[in-house]
Amino acid sequence: MKDIYITTPIYYVNAKPHIGHAYTTIVCDVFARINKMLGNNVKFVTGTDEHGKKIEQSAVNAGIEPQAFTDQISELFRNMLPVLNISNDDFIRTTQERHKKAVTAFWTKLYDAGYIYLGEYEGWYDIRNEAYFSDDELVDGKSPLGGDVTLMKEPCYFFRLSQFTDILLKYYDEHPDFIFPIQRKNEVVSFVKSGLKDLAVSRTTFKWGIPVPNDPKHVIYVWLDALVNYLTLNGYPENNDQNNDNYWLNVHHFVGKEIVRFHAVYWPAFLIAAGINPPKQVISHGWWLSEGEKMSKSVGNVQDPIKYCSLFGSDALRYFVLRELTFGNDGNFSLTGFINRYNSVLANAYGNLCSRVLSFITKYCNGNLSIPSNIDEDLVEFTNSVDSALNESISYIEQYSFSKYLEKIELAISYANKFVDRKEPWRIKDNQTILNNILYVLIDAIQKISKYFEPVIPIACGKVLQCITANSEGITIKALDSVLFPKIDENATFDVYE
């Protein structure tokens, strides 16, 4: 049993949440639930990133004050959580007092230790991504992240990132699992090897941010502000002994691939400068395309997670995103793909297995099964095959292979369905003991499958598990009172876009 601390990125509140935000949050939730299932203590957090020029500008465009604007959009992110059935322990907003206090304390720590100095900055500023770039970093006149840039010059505080080139390289070397997957690690290592420059960590060109202590003309760079959220959520600065905090020592940051650099270069450098251990692991995933294309409002293909949940249920969305995308790679979100997987696995395979076995037992065995006194070889073999598929499934979690995890659970389900078809319990009329034993091992399999499947589809598995109760002589079974996953008509049309 260990303590584990799981974080999502905190999301910008310039626009409402879409499927990409839902995805990372669901991945973290499933990882949190699997860890709980394995008996670990979990702290799982998410929230919103609310400062910076981009947000200030979005508020101006909307014609309202930044605070009122961020209140509105942050609420949309917070309201998405129960809809997706997310089990987070806390939700942070970077405009909260507790966070301002943490950032101020963290800055002061870096400043007092001599890692921050006042200078002047000139460079190309990408407003959308809140980052400066030098001439040689621009690609076709745009920032390497694709945003438009403007030349800006400002007095500015710098963080002595240049001192961290060797320190970070040594850190990556000594902690080979720090960045996952390896491909992202290689990119980070080659970026750091090319040499790090000092990093601009304050701005004077706008006001919407946390003021620099003792120099309020400056606001703190939004990425320094945002990254500290992970400490705020762990009780910093009151909890000032993070290096002896079991959650901090096992913190897992889940991020999209575009923000690995902030988490795997800047963040560990800031932390080392502040005397705090870098995170245990930065885990990055790929991007969702929608119907084969980049998601964009103008194309009208932005997938709306809330609509999917209200049409098909949160279990279905959670299952689809984990099963469809090979973690780490990019993937394609399409309604047809969604319906295919839903119908074949949730409705036909799992839903049908549970409903036919549970209702058969209530009809033909009065809902009661007794513990078998001896079980023949064939039944033992079936139980072993289910167990081995499920054991294999869990082994994929260490590599964050959620799709493989599900593949193995699906294999166990298919063993169970084939077993029912082969044993044809409806034909066994004359031998109650044989019938009892077949159904008993089946219920045992359904129970185990449902426990492994529960972190992904908690509502359906919860219903199934509630129908099965152990008693002193055996088990009592209730039938399901509704269809777990009603089949979706492939020819129907659905409104699933924002």
Residues in touch with ligand ME8 (CB under 6 A): 9-12, 20-21, 23-24, 49, 226-227, 229, 255-256, 258-259, 287-288, 295
Provide the 10 A C-beta neighbour count for residue 114: 10
The number of angstroms, rounded, from the C-alpha of 479 to the middle of its chain's C-alpha atoms is 34
Beta carbon of residue 64, minimum distance to ligand ME8 (angstroms, whole number): 20
Which lies closer to ligand ME8 via its Cβ, residue 332 or residue 366?
332
Beta carbon of residue 226, minimum distance to ligand ME8 (angstroms, whole number): 4
Rounded alpha-carbon distances, angstroms, from residue 155 to 123, 152, 197, 201, 205: 12, 10, 17, 11, 10
Query: Closest-CB residue for ligand ME8?
Result: 20
d(CA 327, CA 197): 32
Which lies closer to ligand ME8 via its Cβ, residue 307 or residue 451?
307
Beta carbon of residue 482, minimum distance to ligand ME8 (angstroms, whole number): 33
Which lies closer to ligand ME8 via its Cβ, residue 27 or residue 353?
27
239 close to 258: Cβ distance less than 8 angstroms: no
Cα dihedral 293, 295, 300, 303 sign? positive
Beta carbon of residue 329, minimum distance to ligand ME8 (angstroms, whole number): 11
Which lies closer to ligand ME8 via its Cβ, residue 21 or residue 99?
21
Single-letter code of the amino acid located at 495: D
Sequence length of the chain is: 498
d(CA 212, CA 99): 14
d(CA 400, CA 387): 21
Which lies closer to ligand ME8 via its Cβ, residue 209 or residue 425?
209
Provide the 10 A C-beta neighbour count for residue 406: 23
Which lies closer to ligand ME8 via its Cβ, residue 145 or residue 167?
145
Beta carbon of residue 33, minimum distance to ligand ME8 (angstroms, whole number): 19
Q: At what angle do helices 432-453 and 402-423 cross, to 10 degrees?
A: 170
Which lies closer to ligand ME8 via its Cβ, residue 84 or residue 226?
226
And the tokens for 328? 């780490």
CB under 8 Å, gap of 24 or more: what pairs does 397-405 form?
Answer: 397/31, 397/34, 400/31, 400/180, 400/181, 400/283, 400/327, 400/328, 401/326, 401/327, 402/27, 402/30, 402/322, 402/323, 402/327, 402/456, 403/322, 403/323, 403/324, 403/325, 403/326, 403/327, 405/322
Beta carbon of residue 93, minimum distance to ligand ME8 (angstroms, whole number): 12
Beta carbon of residue 23, minimum distance to ligand ME8 (angstroms, whole number): 5
Beta carbon of residue 321, minimum distance to ligand ME8 (angstroms, whole number): 9
Beta carbon of residue 128, minimum distance to ligand ME8 (angstroms, whole number): 9
Which lies closer to ligand ME8 via its Cβ, residue 89 or residue 381?
89
Which lies closer to ligand ME8 via its Cβ, residue 227 or residue 446?
227
And the tokens for 51? 């400062």
